[in-house]
Structure 1
Amino acid sequence: MSRALCALVLSFALSSPLVSAVQAQGTQPNGLPPGVYMGEADYKQAPAGTYAIDPDHASVIARVSHLRYSWSIFRFDRISGTLKWDPADTANSSLTAKVETASITSNVKDFAKELSGNNFLKSATFPDATFVSTAFRQMSTRRGKVDGQLTLMGKTKPVTFDVELVGAGKGFADRPRIGANAKGSINPVDFGLPPLFGDSIEIVIDVEFQREP
């Protein structure tokens, strides 16, 4: 291709509506404003440091057998926690997290209040469920296991979560982010919940962490 033709192609590209709109609005080609970045499927894009759970982008869901007819879905909305992250050696990472049990929700009218009451979670006496990691075990570039101790209703038992990286990157507001999905299960009777629940309860966590300033 001649220099003249290359110059013509470059001139046409730079004058395209997409590029002009990006330049005019001060946005990136993917439509994000300056300083906001998409996550990537590479955990090393989140640099080492102390990260806090972003409560606006976190949820804990409990999938509970409904008398073995179906799965009832309960969501906890108030979550906090700290991740000490080391991408150079993920085994050096650690996690502590807290869920306010009274923040449980249900689409069954008035059932959430009953669940947080004395017949089930006893939130007035045990307001928080906590998780403290004991080991990070990396299995691949996107998957791993996090072992730890779960305390619920005053009882502490070991739990292992299967974790999958969703994305990591520069985040926004100069605060890198890392997001993950985690799944584990507990025996409800181990924690003092009534045998009515019967089968194991699956816990599904979707969470984003942002690095502390």
Structure 2
Amino acid sequence: MKASVQRVRLAVSAMVTLAAAASLALWTSDAFAQIDTAHSTITATSKQMNVPVEGKFTRFSGQLAFDPAKPAAGNAQVSVDMTSYDLGDETYNDEVRGKDWFDAKTYPNATFVSSAIAPAGTDMFNVTGKLTIKGKSQTVVVPVKVTTQGAAHAFDGSLTIKRSQYDVGLGEWKDTSVVADDVVIRFHLVGAGK
């Protein structure tokens, strides 16, 4: 049971990380150079029996047309490789890719496609769009803070999603009293300006 509980924690964390990766990947565009992955982080926190677990996706791609002076004219498309989830243990990684969690053989990619980008205060933007995981789509709003230091740009934010809306955690893992439904995504993305 202990090993199963740990696998569940890791799987829920994987779902959160996916959404985080999607929101971060929004910012790769003609407006900015490549993401500096050595200085960027994407974390996701879920709770099982009130114990937090984090994980990350290592491969994702995206395109974004974004001008901070004209955010409403922007758009984003993101794809996340579901097989790239890394918990630091290949046994757990394999389980998360299975049918009860991501079903990565059937759904190898998760996507985010924006529908609106709006200012939300000084250096803050709300990016609205469809997040699709395991064939299930939900509209989400990703709050992002943009900071600039010389030619470098950093994008920070957090987002809470519900794993049940994406059928992540089926069978015995569907019970949200054991594995929390809420998953919190936190991200820090650094890109060098052109």
Fold equivalence (TM over 0.5): yes
Aligned in 2, Cα 1:109/1:124: closer, same or farther, shift over 3 Å? closer
Q: How far, CA to CA, are the matches of 2:106 and 2:193 in structure 1?
A: 32
- 2:151 corresponds to: 170
- 2:163 corresponds to: 188
Cα displacement (A) at 1:87? 2.5
Cα displacement (A) at 1:119? 2.2
- 1:85 corresponds to: 66
- 1:14 corresponds to: none
- 1:56 corresponds to: 37
3-state SS in 2 of match to 1:91: helix
Q: How far, CA to CA, are the matches of 1:84 and 1:208 in structure 2?
A: 17
- 2:52 corresponds to: 71
Supply the AA of the counterpart residue of 1:189. Answer: S
Moved more, 186-195 or 136-145: 136-145
Tell me if the contact between 1:78 and 1:103 (Cα under 8 Å) persists in the aligned partners.
Answer: yes
Deviations along 1:26-74, whole A, 9 cap, x unmatched?
xxxxxxxxxxxxxxxxxxxxxx94446526254432211122x221101
Q: How far, CA to CA, are the matches of 1:88 and 1:204 in structure 2?
A: 25
Q: How far, CA to CA, are the matches of 1:119 and 1:52 in structure 2?
A: 37
Runs of 5+ consecutive residues of structure 2 not aligned to the other structure: 1-28
Q: Identical aligned pairs, as a percentage?
A: 23
Q: Does 1:125 align with 2:100?
A: no
Q: How far, CA to CA, are the matches of 1:103 and 1:55 in structure 2?
A: 18
3-state SS in 2 of match to 1:122: coil
Q: How far, CA to CA, are the matches of 2:168 and 2:32 in structure 1?
A: 32
Cα displacement (A) at 1:84? 0.6
Cα displacement (A) at 1:211? 6.3
Cα displacement (A) at 1:159? 0.8
Supply the AA of the counterpart residue of 1:190. Answer: Q
Tell me if the contact between 2:151 and 2:193 (Cα under 8 Å) persists in the aligned partners.
Answer: no
Cα displacement (A) at 1:111? 1.1
Q: How far, CA to CA, are the matches of 1:78 and 1:55 in structure 2?
A: 13
Supply the AA of the counterpart residue of 2:52. Answer: W
Q: How far, CA to CA, are the matches of 2:65 and 2:193 in structure 1?
A: 9
Name the larger-Rg structure: 1
Cα displacement (A) at 1:88? 2.1
Supply the AA of the counterpart residue of 2:53. Answer: S
Q: How many residues align?
A: 158
Aligned in 2, Cα 1:183/1:90: closer, same or farther, shift over 3 Å? same
Aligned in 2, Cα 1:92/1:145: closer, same or farther, shift over 3 Å? same
Q: Does 1:94 align with 2:69?
A: no
Moved more, 188-197 or 156-165: 188-197
Q: How far, CA to CA, are the matches of 1:206 and 1:91 in structure 2?
A: 23
Runs of 5+ consecutive residues of structure 1 not aligned to the other structure: 1-47, 172-177
TM-score normalised by length of structure 2: 0.71
Q: How far, CA to CA, are the matches of 2:146 and 2:31 in structure 1?
A: 17
